[in-house]
């Protein structure tokens, strides 16, 4: 039986490739045969990724800049898959609800959700021009399908911003729209919605969070890789418009 999870010969574009999740995706995909175009705005980290991981080529890309996105996508001969992990936000992002100014709300939603739209639009146009049977993978969140449990943030100088929930809910239904609209062209689109990923958070937060997870732990970046490979490969050839939750069971309670 052929390896249904092989990405051999496929070119996969990853946004946010210098971030926590994006970096690990870029490191993992070449192991399955993919050629990876890693994109970000942090050129120093991007070049380091290119130099240390075989099969990865770095390209500067600000997903919030329409002309830059259009130029980047139109210059690529082949795009078989897109993985959107980028997390653009302004300097005021992360405030409590009462402190979120309307201007910041609009800017952050436009940057993040709008950026995903720009990348998907131009990448799909590339796929259509090349008659490519492509796959789009957008990153959502458990907070795109349910409200945060704010008890895990009590006593801490951190929260889950209102913009984040709106953005990730938008990503999920926006992706379903793409899946329906371009299904006849053979282009699939799906969402991965992770639960909390460990990234050095305060121990009190980790303890509170893990106490609500049936698997008793936060996610590690490695926990997400298998789902990404699945959605980019032939193994998921009849899967589109889905929101796959990878959360250790958080949302079943």
Give just the sign of the alpha carbon dihedral 180, 181, 183, 186.
negative
Interacting residues of 82 by C-beta distance below 8 A, sequence separation 6+: 12, 13, 14, 15, 119, 120, 123, 134, 135, 136, 137
- Tell me if residue 164 is catalytic: yes
Owner of token pair 């009190």? 204
Q: Which of 164, 181, 209, 230 is catalytic?
A: 164
Neighbour-count burial for 134-158, b at 16+ CB within 10 Å, e otherwise: bbbbbbbbbbbbeebeeebbeeeee
Q: Active-site positions?
A: 164
């Amino acid at each position: 039986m052929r390896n249904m999870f092989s990405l051999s010969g496929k070119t996969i574009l990853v946004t946010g490739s210098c971030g926590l999740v994006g970096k690990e995706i870029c490191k993992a995909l070449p192991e399955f045969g993919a050629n990876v175009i890693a994109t970000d705005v942090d050129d120093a980290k991007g070049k380091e990724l290119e130099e240390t991981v075989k099969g990865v080529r770095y390209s500067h890309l600000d997903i919030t800049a329409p002309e830059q996105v259009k130029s980047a996508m139109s210059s690529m001969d082949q795009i078989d898959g897109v993985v959107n992990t980028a997390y653009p936000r302004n300097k005021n992002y992360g405030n409590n609800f009462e402190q979120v100014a309307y201007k910041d709300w609009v800017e952050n939603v436009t940057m993040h959700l709008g950026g995903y739209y720009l990348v998907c639009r131009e990448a799909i146009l590339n796929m259509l021009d090349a008659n490519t049977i492509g796959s789009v993978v957008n990153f959502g969140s458990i907070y795109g399908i349910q409200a945060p449990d704010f008890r895990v943030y009590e006593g801490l100088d951190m929260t889950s911003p209102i913009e984040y929930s709106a953005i990730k809910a938008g990503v999920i239904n926006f992706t379903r729209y793409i899946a329906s609209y371009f299904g006849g062209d053979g282009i699939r689109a799906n969402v991965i919605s992770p639960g909390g990923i460990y990234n050095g958070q305060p121990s009190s937060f980790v303890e509170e969070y893990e106490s609500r997870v049936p698997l008793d732990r936060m996610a590690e970046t490695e926990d997400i890789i298998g789902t990404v490979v699945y959605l980019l490969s032939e193994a998921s050839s009849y899967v589109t418009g889905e929101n796959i939750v990878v959360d250790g069971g958080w949302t079943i309670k």
